[in-house]
Amino acid sequence: MAQHGDHPTVGGVFPAAFLWGAATAAYQIEGAVREDGRGESIWDRFSHTPGKTHKGDTGDIACDHYHRWPEDIRLMRELNLKAYRFSIAWPRILPRGRGGVNERGLAFYDRLVDGLLAADITPWVTLYHWDLPQPLEDAGGWPNRSTADAFVEYVNIVSRRLGDRVKNWITLNEPWCVAFLGYLTGEHAPGRRDLRAALAATRTLLAAHGRAVPVLRANSAGARVGITLNLAAVYPASDSPVDREAAHRYDGFFNRWFLDPLYGRGYPADMVALYGDNLPPVPAGDIEVAAAPIDFLGVNYYSPSAVRHEPSGPLQVGVVPFPDAEVTAMGWPVYPRGLFDLLLRLHRDYPIGALYITENGAAYDDPPPANGRVPDPRRIAYYAGHLTEAARAIAEGVPLHGYFAWSLMDNFEWAHGYSKRFGLVYVDYPTQQRTIKDSGYWYREVIAAGRVLSPEAVVRS
């Protein structure tokens, strides 16, 4: 395996037009799950099912962003953010999944978008960040092809309403997680465990994405449309041919399975062969639909994977501990170089016009605020390391145009509930009080300077 010890010194300059932002997702922050006509989502159902989330945590209240969004926009301004990536809750717009538009749900996002624009913050809208309306899951969920029809209807309604003001659209967040964590491992909603269902879900997701692209272009003049993938920076555990092949299969499972169809190559033949009968037949036209031209690819990167050959399981791949790496509170190894390797590989292997890092960040066990301060030096070091590698990738010619920190504020971290804090802003859940962490103040200065500052450069006001 490559040497993991040698990190370049922190630094790097970004182009003046580089877009600086932070990201969130509806179910993780909004709360207000029964308000203003919102319907039930698969995450409401899942988190209320005993044993599915840490301590039974749910998104019922979360960060109460549904009510506190004006304060949250003020925080974004204080952090100097130029862009904010958030998602729309499908069950607020269509409480039954299809048919019956809920005007109050649309009105909420209207207010939010207007508030952002008034604050000079560019909205980046994710249309699906995991909160499928429960009635659609009851009708078969993502493995069912008709969920793509429902998605296109939903996208049409949202983009007709917001498309005059929102110009940056992300169809789906991390379809790998939707399909494999939702329908294979069951760690995420809806919690099913069935490889065939997971593979069928990937098909529907890519079709839904591809069919939504022209709808967004039609409803939002000058729109820039993309998709966000969680891609693996994968390394073989040794130089042995079997471990290298294992790494290639893992790359097929995580990366090529989505990238190849999106960029017009269809599903990778090695993976099709490997999945065999578990793969439902490809409906005619699917390959063309998934390859609808997009304007950018969103990349979510958190940590690398080291893998080796293992005789068991359909993939015959085992994930091994990443050597010499610190880990975050999630247990995820910290390896900024993985971001550089991933960006260069994407640029080399696919005709990607523009790249954005749509999520990157780290959970640590932050202390509660004391005297208005939350010192989080490890998070600052994490951001500094990854931004340094992002700048290096740009210097190597990668068309990387922006970066969104995950996350604006601590929030409901899916199955981990509120036990993992990813925010630039600390949220005290009982009082809902927000406190900007040192990493937030550091990020603010980085945005102002347009370059990576040393971790000591925390200026608080």
Interface residues with ligand FCB (CB under 6 A) are 25, 28, 173-174, 177, 230, 300, 359, 406, 413-414, 422
* Shortest Å, Cβ 173 to ligand FCB: 5
As a whole number of angstroms, the distance between CA 87 and CA 68 comes to: 16
As a whole number of angstroms, the distance between CA 158 and CA 106 comes to: 7
- Residue closer to ligand FCB (CB basis): 30 or 359: 359
Q: Token match 């399909």: residue?
A: 179
* Shortest Å, Cβ 188 to ligand FCB: 9
* Shortest Å, Cβ 451 to ligand FCB: 26
Interacting residues of 5 by C-beta distance below 8 A, sequence separation 6+: 324
**Which long-range CB contacts under 8 A does 157-161 form with residues at least 24 apart?**
157/93, 157/94, 157/101, 157/106, 158/88, 158/93, 158/106, 158/109, 158/125, 158/127, 159/215, 159/216, 159/219, 159/220, 159/223, 160/219, 161/106, 161/109, 161/110
Look up 359 and say whether it is catalytic. Answer: yes
- Residue closer to ligand FCB (CB basis): 267 or 422: 422
- Residue closer to ligand FCB (CB basis): 287 or 325: 325
Neighbours of 365 (CB within 10 A): 11
As a whole number of angstroms, the distance between CA 298 and CA 161 comes to: 24
Helices (H), 294-416: 337-349, 377-395
* Shortest Å, Cβ 150 to ligand FCB: 21
Q: Token match 């996002």: residue?
A: 109
* Shortest Å, Cβ 312 to ligand FCB: 26
Instruction: Determine the length of the chain.
Output: 461
Secondary structure letter of residue 281 according to DSSP:
P
* Shortest Å, Cβ 181 to ligand FCB: 9
Residue of 40, 174, 389, 413 marked catalytic: 174
- Residue closer to ligand FCB (CB basis): 168 or 328: 328
**In 3-state terms, the chain is what percent helix, strand and coil (to 5)?**
40, 15, 40
- Residue closer to ligand FCB (CB basis): 174 or 243: 174
Residue nearest to ligand FCB (CB): 25
- Residue closer to ligand FCB (CB basis): 263 or 406: 406
What is the maximal distance between C-alpha atoms in the chain?
62
35 — phi, psi (to 5°)?
A: -100, 150
Residue of 30, 40, 137, 359 marked catalytic: 359
Interacting residues of 362 by C-beta distance below 8 A, sequence separation 6+: 302, 328, 329, 330, 332, 334, 378, 379, 382, 383, 422
- Residue closer to ligand FCB (CB basis): 322 or 422: 422
* Shortest Å, Cβ 27 to ligand FCB: 9
Tokens of 235: 């390394």
Active site residues: 174, 359
